[in-house]
Amino acid sequence: MALLVLLNGPPASGKSTIAERLVATRPLALRLDIDVVRGLLGDWLQRPTDAGLAARALAISMARTHLAAGHDVFVPQFLGRPEFIDELAALAFETGATFVEIALVLDRESARSALAERTADPQNDTHRDAAALVEQSGGTSAVDEMFDRYEALLDQRAGARRVEVERGDIDATVRAVEVVLSIAASRSAPPERARPSHFSISHAPTDYRCPFCLNIRDGTSDLPLEFIHRDDDVVVKMNPKWWPNNPGSVLVIPTEHHENIFDVPDRLALPIHRAARNAAVAMKVAFGCDAVSTRQHNEPAGNQTVWHFHLHVFPRWENDDLYGTKHAPADETELRDLARQLRAAWPAATAT
Ligand SMILES: [Zn+2]
């Protein structure tokens, strides 16, 4: 998983140099210095706000392309407001990258002296640009204002990983950043057990003699057995237990043995749904019931008692109190009669 790393920090905290060091050990990682991009724009110092916005938009496009190709992107940039940080986080989400927000922390006095040194002896165009911009925006007071904004921002950025800048020891700061990155990378690739591709849980005893499999395979049952419908994927049978005010309920059961919702494969979802809907239609036609409800239970605490997935379909009547009543064995004669009615009303064409 690619990393999108924001290296935020006050002026002269060493962001660009740290980013340079980080990409040096990562083939094809991109050091996306937005100030460098801004410096590519014609006469940008005359329109610094527009140029800054244009540079950020260009940077987002570059980062998107590179992250989509699976490469890491490092953005060394002073940001005193959260909007662009949120934009970077959204980009990481969009591209499936891991976003790491690092906030370099440096005391104001150290930053001032570092900035003064850099202004007196700029090492590159970006340093010269930054010095010109600071001068243009009001010199020292502009730097103080950036610091104030940065400190206020950090108070709101709970997710930012703070790294203390070791003045004069860039190696130590880089090592501290590497630790943060290695933790972020390990979190972004959780072990298999943390995110199972298939969750499965069983409560059936090891020697379970599945009554539904016996019904389906052998046609045998200890209780009255009436099938309403049968195809390759599912059977629909009368529930031999009835709720007193809701006689004629049925069970939709996949013909394959799967214990519960965690195990039923997706390919059976449509056949199960289709059978449930056809049962609902048959109930409306045969019984003239007021409504239809379905129920499906998983695990003992969920009232599952037969360890083979099944979906209940109930005919409902006004004020039938289905959820307040208890089931009891069905009357066999009535069960067989209602089964005949449902079979006769079963929809002929399979709706899709
Ligand atoms: Zn079974």
Q: Which of the four pLDDT bands, split at 50, 70 and 90, describes residue 124?
A: confident
Distance 239 CA to ligand 1 centre (A): 15
* Distance from C-alpha of 95 to C-alpha of 63, rounded to nearest angstrom: 10
Distance 301 CA to ligand 1 centre (A): 20
| Residues in CB range of 117: below 8 A, 6 or more apart | 12
Distance 212 CA to ligand 1 centre (A): 5
pTM, whole model, 2 decimals?
0.54
Q: What is the pLDDT of residues 175-194, one digit of tens each?
A: 999 999 988 877 765 554 44
**Length of the chain in residues, anyone?**
352
Q: Which range has the worst mean pLDDT, 51-55, 80-84, 163-167, 246-250?
A: 163-167
Distance 222 CA to ligand 1 centre (A): 15
Distance 233 CA to ligand 1 centre (A): 13
| β-pairing verdict for 227-230 and 73-76 | unpaired
- Residue 206 counted as domain residue: no
In the chain, the number of structural domains is: 2
Mean pLDDT, the chain, integer:
89
* HEC string for 226-257: CEEEECCCEEEEECCEECCCCCCCEEEEECCC
**Residue 165 and residue 49 in one domain:** yes
Distance 211 CA to ligand 1 centre (A): 6
**Residue 128 and residue 61 in one domain:** yes
**Residue 89 and residue 118 in one domain:** yes
**Residue 130 and residue 222 in one domain:** no
Distance 263 CA to ligand 1 centre (A): 12
**Residue 146 and residue 255 in one domain:** no
**Residue 162 and residue 242 in one domain:** no
Beta bridge partners of 253: 235
Please return the burial class of 216, using the count of CB atoms within 10 Å of its CB with bins 0-12, 13-18 and 19+: buried
**Residue 153 and residue 215 in one domain:** no
- Residue 84 counted as domain residue: yes
- Residue 281 counted as domain residue: yes
| Residues in CB range of 261: below 8 A, 6 or more apart | 296, 298, 309
Taking residues 88-114, report their average pLDDT: 89
Distance 135 CA to ligand 1 centre (A): 79
Reported as type and span, the H/E element at residue 99 is: strand 98-105
Enclosing domain of residue 340: 211-345
User: pLDDT higher for 135 or 223?
Assistant: 223
| β-pairing verdict for 234-238 and 227-230 | antiparallel
Distance 196 CA to ligand 1 centre (A): 25
**Residue 179 and residue 56 in one domain:** yes
Distance 208 CA to ligand 1 centre (A): 9
Taking residues 319-335, report their average pLDDT: 93
Distance 210 CA to ligand 1 centre (A): 5
What is the number of H-type helices and E-type strands within the chain?
11, 12
Decide if pLDDT at 236 tops 80: yes
**Residue 167 and residue 220 in one domain:** no
- Residue 138 counted as domain residue: yes
State the Cα torsion 203-207-210-213 to the nearest 10°: 120
Decide if pLDDT at 249 tops 60: yes
Distance 218 CA to ligand 1 centre (A): 12
For residue 296, the domain's CATH number is 3.30.428.10
CA atoms within 13 A on the CB side of 49: 1
- Residue 200 counted as domain residue: no
**Residue 222 and residue 341 in one domain:** yes
Distance 241 CA to ligand 1 centre (A): 18
Distance 214 CA to ligand 1 centre (A): 7
Q: Mark residue 299 as left, alpha or beta (left: phi above 0; alpha: psi -120 to 50; beta: remaining).
A: left
**Residue 12 and residue 54 in one domain:** yes
Q: Tokens representing 320?
A: 């039938």
For residue 118, the domain's CATH number is 3.40.50.300
**Residue 228 and residue 133 in one domain:** no
